[in-house]
């Protein structure tokens, strides 16, 4: 019976041959690749049943050499008009050396995920938490320096090329242009922080302030405390602070002494303050009369963490955005609409 040559095998190789091929792969990536920033995802508010999170944070970035597989341009590169606006579907494919990951980065990722889980580093990370140090992970981000943008890892292929000499040498990262939806960026790289931390999140609270001292800083973190409904806005004294009853996860109420946020806009002359990235929110709260128009964030105490500014709010509202701009759309339509009596009954028989 014919069979393959036992002296030349494509499925099993000597250690020296495997190491040589691995060294050549790493050399090609370092010579012809580009330096990117790789950011592991930290899931916030993780649902233990569905293993999904309502929000994500990116707290550190690692510079890694990757080879851009498609230097000629984006894989897709088309623009789609959706009901949420124009959406770009640009795709990129990166090649990462397995040895680069295992030798230089896996230990840092493992240490980071153990700090997130609150466990020691003597065991493997919890994959049910969406954590792994053995390979890049779907949902992680890559900062692409060519056009100053972020790409999200959608799929990691570990079997292409198909095991020369019985071993894989690269990870192929299939990535898509990242769509910002309120994620938190707290890395030490200004090119990432400056670009995305100033984006106003879809849920943005605007406060009209009454009394206070000092002034807030842009992008400053603030702590918001609940005040009694009977608070006199003209009284600068601070009464006893009571707990919020807020939504931490959608559908789950919890009592919290305060909530955190980030300043996106501050006008001291008009005393207008906008805050996003609230840690706990409850935009539609019923009072004892089943009235949902009353906002529990109307009268709160806002304290700047860096500036030390302290202000009391008079009222608050949710700013219009891409997901709640029905009022703006209706106002624009009212200005341009042309009423034709014939259009009132297009069927003509009712």
Q: Residue 325's closest CA among 29, 85, 139? A: 85
Candidate from 1-15, 114-128, 202-216, 250-264 with smallest mean pLDDT: 1-15
- Band of pLDDT at residue 347, cut at 50, 70 and 90: low
Residue 5 reports pLDDT greater than 60: yes
Q: Rounded mean pLDDT of 49-55?
A: 73
Q: What is the pLDDT of residue 229?
A: 45
- Decide: 263 and 275 in contact? Cβ < 8 Å: yes
Q: Residue 309's closest CA among 198, 223, 226, 207? A: 223
Q: What is the pLDDT of residue 318?
A: 76
Its pTM stands at 0.61
Give per-residue pLDDT as tens, 132-145. 888 888 889 999 88
Q: What is the pLDDT of residue 303?
A: 92
Q: Rounded mean pLDDT of 213-239?
A: 70
Number of residues in the chain: 350
- Separation between Cα atoms, residue 172 and residue 156, nearest integer Å: 6
Give per-residue pLDDT as tens, 255-287. 777 888 888 889 988 999 998 878 776 655 555
- Band of pLDDT at residue 109, cut at 50, 70 and 90: confident
Neighbours of 8 (CB within 10 A): 7
Percentage of the chain lying above the pLDDT 70 cut: 68
Question: If you write DSSP's letter for every residue of 118-186 in order, what string do you get?
Answer: T--TTS---GGGT--SSS--TT-EEEETTTTEEEEEEEEE-SSS--GGG---EEEEEEEE---SS-EE-
SS3 of 288, please? coil
């Amino acid at each position: 019976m014919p069979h393959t040559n036992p002296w030349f095998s494509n499925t099993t190789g000597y250690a020296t041959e495997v190491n040589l091929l691995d060294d050549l792969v790493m050399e090609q990536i370092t010579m012809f690749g580009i330096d990117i920033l790789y950011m592991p995802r930290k899931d916030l508010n993780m649902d233990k049943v569905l293993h999904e999170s309502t929000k994500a944070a990116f707290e550190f970035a690692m510079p890694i050499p990757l080879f851009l597989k498609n230097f000629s341009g984006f894989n897709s590169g088309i623009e789609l008009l959706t009901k949420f606006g124009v959406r770009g579907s640009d795709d990129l494919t990166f090649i990462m050396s397995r040895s680069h990951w295992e030798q230089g980065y896996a230990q840092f990722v493992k240490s980071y995920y153990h700090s997130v889980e609150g466990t020691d580093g003597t065991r493997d990370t919890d994959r049910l938490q969406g954590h792994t140090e053995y390979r890049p992970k779907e949902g992680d981000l890559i900062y692409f320096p060519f056009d100053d943008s972020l790409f999200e890892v959608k799929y990691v292929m570990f079997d292409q090329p198909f095991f020369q000499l019985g071993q894989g040498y690269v990870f192929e990262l299939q990535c898509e242009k990242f769509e910002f939806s309120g994620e938190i960026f707290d890395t030490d790289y200004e090119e990432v922080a400056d670009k995305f931390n100033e984006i106003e999140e879809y849920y943005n609270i605007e406060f009209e302030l009454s009394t206070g001292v000092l002034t807030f800083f842009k992008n400053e973190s603030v702590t918001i405390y609940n005040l009694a409904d009977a608070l006199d806005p003209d009284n600068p004294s601070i009464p006893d602070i009571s707990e919020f009853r807020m939504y931490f996860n959608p559908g789950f109420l919890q009592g919290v002494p305060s909530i955190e946020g980030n300043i996106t806009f501050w006008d001291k002359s008009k005393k207008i303050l906008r805050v996003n990235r609230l840690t706990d929110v409850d935009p539609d709260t019923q009072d004892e009369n089943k009235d949902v128009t009353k906002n529990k964030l109307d009268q709160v105490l806002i304290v700047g963490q860096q500036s030390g500014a302290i202000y009391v709010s008079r009222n608050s509202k949710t700013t219009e955005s891409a997901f709640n701009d029905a009022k703006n759309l209706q106002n624009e339509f009212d200005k341009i609409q042309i009423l034709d009596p014939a259009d009132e009954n297009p069927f003509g028989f009712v």
